[in-house]
Structure 1
Amino acid sequence: MARQDDLDRFYGLLDDLEQRVGGTRKLKNCTGYMDWPDRGVYFFLEPGETRASTDQLRVTRVGTHAVSAGSSTSLWDRLKQHYGTGSGSSNHPHGGAHRGSVYRKRVGESIIEKHDLHDDYPDWDKRWSSVERERAEVRDEEYILERRVSTYIREQPFLWVNLDDEPSADSDRAYLEQNVIALLSNFDEQPIDPRGSGWLGRHSQSQAIRESGLWNVNHVDERYDSGFLDLLENAINGTTPP
């Protein structure tokens, strides 16, 4: 029951965080002009996906940024990559660049699988270095799917914590991210808070995503250190509304 107890504590802390920042946000309503912390960890929740025993929304994506020494990427920089392009983009408004956001890439893959769109998007899984056609042509071809991905992600409520330490693979942010993922993951585990049949991630090409119930691949098969919960609690106490 240790994992169940730790999950209950984790989601209790998310409740505290939600109250502290005045509720979840959605990317469709966010801008870079909001007072985001420079560095932090974020948690995306899935509408319609709830815990087994409560109506609390389930976390389906955990992420951070700037975990390489010398990186200057901010929390909003990373959220903006998931958001995609705005209405002011001359060529592809409300689209995005999934090659710069693994979250966008994985959501797009699942839409392709669910609706059998492989012939429509043959290059979606390829890096630019492997794409033989002109980039402009591929971007135009992928634009409709990028818009669908933007619509999906921008509707996901999310929370974040302020955790401003130096960029490093050994940073507190990296530690928190990997342990939250490991705790939440049902990969090769007795499922707790099982995923609904309608969750888009069930159509993912990735076994790690399908079985973990998260839009994450790294750390889903790892053991977690419950000490991260104390770190999370302290980070919540240092987080304010943007």
Structure 2
Amino acid sequence: MDRRADLDRLYALLGRLDARVGGARRLGDCTGYMDWPDRGVYLFLAPGETRAFSGARRVTRVGTHAVSTGSSTTMWDRLKQHYGTGAGSSAHPHGGNHRGSVYRRRVGEAFVERYALHDRYPDWGTTRVPADRERSEVRDEEYPLERRVSAFLRDQPFLWVDVDDEPGPDSDRAHLERNLVALLSNYDRSPVDPRRSDWLGNYARSAKIRASGLWNVEHVAESYDPAFLDAFEAAVERTGSV
């Protein structure tokens, strides 16, 4: 298994995908009115993060949705959780809910660590609001950081592939996500495409994010099956512009 060669093939496929969909989209430019596939896998590419030798934009997060049997979550549903609230939100415009998006939570944690904001956001990252505090109080307190996270995530370009299979842990989407993360991860292995020193993920609380160079935790320490690239290529060829 030649990981560098497999990464080169993956990024060549992403180049083809970019051409098929008319270019990566910034999350901030997207709406639910666009013709998104119901189900798929998406890959975020951080601005300024590039591959070591080619200069191509580097993948920094892989995600999917509806990997629980019976789930009805669409791809846009998941992207909207990362996007956060819109301008019309009466209480917290351009904010969001990091308890509904692991991506938002991890990015917020990195901001807290980088800028020593622990005292300002003591409950950030808790699964539930502590029982001795009002939910509205905590949401108001966390709103400035939610806005900061929204601004960061909405600037991220991403690509996607259409994979319309039934929800479940053994779905094709789950298979692709798992193998994409494992291939891209630098966790506990010789780094390929090392991360920039100022990449925000270097301040993540999770050692797996810092070491892998991805905003993913699950699957970063796993091995991958090179044959998954054939399935990913087939997904690229059936994906069109929104």
| TM interval, short-chain normalised | over 0.9
Deviations 1:100-122 (A, max 9, x none): 00000000000000000000000
1:144 aligns with 2:147: no
- SS where residue 128 of structure 1 aligns? coil
User: Separation in 1 of the partners of 2:130 and 2:214?
Assistant: 27
Say whether residues 1:37 and 2:41 are aligned partners.
no
Aligned mates of 1:68, 1:227 — CA distance in 2: 24
Instruction: Report the 3-state secondary structure (helix = DSSP H, G, I; strand = E; otherwise coil) of the residue aligned with 1:41.
Output: strand
Aligned residue in 2 for 1:12 = 12
TM-score, normalising length: structure 1: 0.99
CA distance in 2, matches of 1:186, 1:32: 34
**Match for 1:49: what amino acid?**
E
For residue 223 of structure 2, what is the aligned residue in structure 1? 223
Distance (Å, rounded) in 2 between the aligned partners of 1:65 and 1:127: 19
Q: Could you tell me which amino acid in structure 2 is paired with residue 5 of structure 1?
A: A
* 1:183 CA displacement: 0.2
| Partner in structure 1 of residue 75 of structure 2 | 75
| Structure 1 counterpart of 2:239 | 239
Q: 1:167 and 1:44 mapped to 2: Cα distance?
A: 22
CA contact (8 A) 2:129 2:138 kept: no
Q: CA–CA distance in 1 between the matches of 2:235 and 2:165?
A: 11
> Could you tell me which residue of structure 2 aligns to residue 180 of structure 1?
180
1:19-67 Cα deviation digits (max 9, x unpaired): 0000000111100000000000000001111000011110000000000
User: Partner of 2:100 in structure 1?
Assistant: 100
* Residue equivalent to 1:118: 118
Whether the aligned pair in 1 keeps the contact of 2:123 and 2:129 (CA below 8 Å) is: no
Distance in 2 between residues matched to 1:181 and 1:48, nearest whole Å: 20
- Any runs of at least 4 consecutive aligned residues in structure 1 with deviations exceeding 3 A, and if so which? none
Deviations 1:71-119 (A, max 9, x none): 0000000000000000000010000000000000000000000000000
TM-fit CA distance, 1:128? 1.6
- C-alpha deviation, 1:176, in angstroms: 0.1
Q: After TM superposition, give the deviation of residue 131 of structure 1 in Å.
A: 4.8
Q: Any idea what the Cα deviations from partners look like across 1:142-192, whole Å, max 9, x if unmatched? A: 000000000000001000000000001000000000000000000000000
Deviation at 1:132, TM superposition (A): 2.8
SS in 1 for 2:201: helix
Question: Equivalents in 2 of 1:63, 1:99: separation in Å?
Answer: 16
Task: Tell me which residue corresponds to 1:197.
Answer: 197
1:38-53 to structure 2, matched below 5 A, reads 38-53=38-53
Q: SS at the partner of 1:210?
A: helix
Q: Is the 8 A contact 1:26 1:154 kept in 2?
A: yes
List runs of 5+ in structure 2 lacking aligned partners. Answer: none
Identity %: 66
Q: Does the 8 A contact of 2:129 with 2:135 survive in 1?
A: no
| CA distance, structure 2, for counterparts of residue 236 and residue 141 of structure 1 | 42
**Do the aligned residues in 2 keep the contact of 1:123 with 1:131 (CA within 8 Å)?**
no
Structure 1: runs of 5+ lacking an equivalent: none
Q: SS at 2:133's partner residue?
A: coil
Deviations 1:193-233, CA, capped at 9 Å, x for gaps: 00000100000110000000000000000000011100110
Tell me, in whole angstroms, the C-alpha distance in 1 between the residues paired with 2:67 and 2:163. 12
Q: Give yes or no for contact 2:44–2:60 (8 Å, CA) kept in 1.
A: yes
